[in-house]
Amino acid sequence: MKEKIIVVSNKSGLHARPAATLVQTLNKYQSGVKILKDDFEVDAKSVMGVMALAAACGSELKFVVDGPDEGETIAAIESLFNSKFSE
């Protein structure tokens, strides 16, 4: 199991389009992914779950990845957030 804390840096936050992009990307991997924000935990492969986080710019998200390709999964998550979802 790997964990990574990422701060949302795109000014619109994790709204519908980046949430959908995140879910589509994560569904390419076998590992399970959970996102924790404050005391709330969601399945990162669920658009509704990710949207329910209401993660605005500056929100701190903890990703917990568990599975056979967790290293690649974490790298994909970091890449999306570092690129600010190409916004």
Q: Max Cα separation, the chain?
A: 33
Task: Please confirm, yes or no, whether 51 is among the known catalytic residues.
Answer: no
Which listed residue (2, 10, 12, 15) is catalytic?
15
Cα–Cα distance for residue pair 81/74, rounded to 1 Å: 11
Residue type, 46: S
To 5 degrees, how large is the angle CA 83–CA 77–CA 59? 75
Torsion sign, CA atoms 70, 75, 23, 48: positive
Positions marked active-site: 15
